[in-house]
Structure 1
């Protein structure tokens, strides 16, 4: 099973051909070896999403989506080459049930979730909302890891909007007091990992900066690899033990980008 995750930064923009050299997301779907693809920040309702992805769906991909409650915001989806046995929208908390931030599917004997965390803003209501969402997801993850003890493995993929350690953000000194690198956010991730979840990209790349998967569109951030590693795949222990490889599909040049994120792809044996 090969799983990819990517924040598309708007599905309709991502599928647009930007140049002959940069045909966009649909060309990536033609070439990817992934069996399951998780999308975040689609910014589209079900009809718009299906229309944007129509060529991929015609190729046989199965689609599930969680439509955002606010037009042009949020939105997550999962595409699978194998049929979807079950689809669950939301992480079990009424506040976020319609926000288009959490979607789970069962496919090929595995539970896969696509999750998009709020950005937050330190010492504001936006940060309080982010931390409530973090708590809701953690509660769902506790249930999923309990299921893993019975043999049902899971992986949560997406844009977590948290850089866990200094190795996960190039300019960590300049972001210590900013959302995405706050001590309480980083500790929350530490606690998740202590509960049994495995950051499989970091497992495959221990003790090194990156590999980053988000770079600002502005300035020379991409060219200088001044990025953030905020796109994770967190897997239950049994699944994490099956990792063959984990990589970020960083474009070869700025002009080839169709999102400010890059796909994060993990091969599970």
Structure 2
């Protein structure tokens, strides 16, 4: 089983940059996308059904904002939109698809970088999502949460960590929260379990020459329960082409969907 996750930074923009021409060549079983910046009526043609994928979306109420999606080769047994918190669900941040004993979730955490009000919204999300993560960890299913968590966990996960310790995405309380997801709830950061090398990033600012100089952040993850995490066999970040300010995170599993 191959799973790809990508923050597309506008699904129509990613389409114009060749994402849906690239996708059929990747032999992915499931593809999770975030930051659609589209409404249901905008999702047509190759965006709606690339290469015969089944597609499911949870769009934000606000036009041109947020939204998540899942593409799957196999039709899910069940699809669930949202977490049941109106303020979160209005922004289209959570979509879950069940395949037998496995659940794959496309998740998009708020960014707090645009101001204190958005950092407060991020903390609101984190506070309410943690007990949901606990329930997922204890539900007896295998879970893979794919997406943009907007948190770099450790110093190795961003280039300029010293100068970012007071910036959203690398705040001490954000990093501690993510540590608790791993240590207290038992979830696994699959990429880091397999690849401990530095300078492995998934997002680069559009300012300066961040991409050219590889001044990046690793904020996109596949985070999973221990059983399915142990079946991961290979991880990679695709950087040959650019479809977004993020890069696709690709993980292969010894698992039959």
- TM-score computed with the length of structure 2 as normaliser: 0.94
How far, CA to CA, are the matches of 2:110 and 2:48 in structure 1?
28
The equivalent of 1:196 in structure 2 is: 186
Moved more, 134-143 or 63-72: 134-143
2:202 aligned with 1:213: yes
Q: Which residue of 1 aligns with 2:155?
A: 166
**Counterpart for residue 15 of structure 1:** 15
Distance 1:27 1:41, change over 3 A: same
Alignment root-mean-square deviation, CA? 1.5
Query: How far did residue 156 of structure 1 move?
Result: 0.4
Alignment check: 8 A CA contact 1:160 1:232 kept: yes
Gaps of 5+ in 1: 18-23
The reply to whether residue 34 of structure 1 matches residue 24 of structure 2 is: no
CA displacement at 1:55 relative to structure 2: 5.5
Superimposed CA distance per residue, residues 235-262 of structure 1 (whole angstroms, 9 cap, x where no aligned partner): 00101111101111122xxxx3121100
Give the aligned partner of residue 262 of structure 1.
Answer: 247
Matched, 1:243 2:232: yes
Change (3 A) 1:204 1:93: same
Query: Does structure 2 retain, via aligned residues, the 8 Å contact 1:92–1:140?
Result: no
Instruction: Name stretches of at least 5 consecutive residues in structure 2 with no aligned partner.
Output: none
Aligned to 2:105: 113
Aligned partners of 1:64, 1:54: CA distance in 2, in Å? 8
Q: Aligned match of 2:39 in 34, 45, 62?
A: 45
TM-aligned CA deviation for residue 98 of structure 1:
2.2
* Structure 1 residues 163 and 267: alpha-carbon distance in aligned structure 2, compared to 1, 3 A threshold: same
Per-residue deviation, 1:92: 3.0
Q: How many residues align?
A: 253
Look up the match of 1:136.
128
Residues 122 and 177, structure 1, Cα contact 8 Å, conserved in 2: no
Alpha carbons 2:48, 2:55 under 8 Å: kept: no
- What stretches of structure 1 move > 6 A for 4+ residues in a row? none
CA distance in 1, matches of 2:29, 2:114: 37
User: In structure 2, what is the Cα distance between the partners aligned to 1:96 and 1:219?
Assistant: 32
Deviation sequence 1:58-113 (CA, Å, 0-9, x none):
x3201110011110000100000000211111123232122111111112541011
Which one is further off, 60-69 or 114-123? 114-123
Q: TM-score, normalised by structure 1?
A: 0.90
Q: CA deviation at 1:141?
A: 1.2
CA contact (8 A) 1:88 1:105 kept: yes
Deviation at residue 121 of structure 1 after TM alignment:
3.8
8 A contact 1:42–1:49 mirrored in 2: no
Per-residue Cα deviation, 1:203-254 (whole angstroms, up to 9, x for no partner): 0112x32410111223221121111000011000101111101111122xxx
2:214 to 225, 237, 242: 225
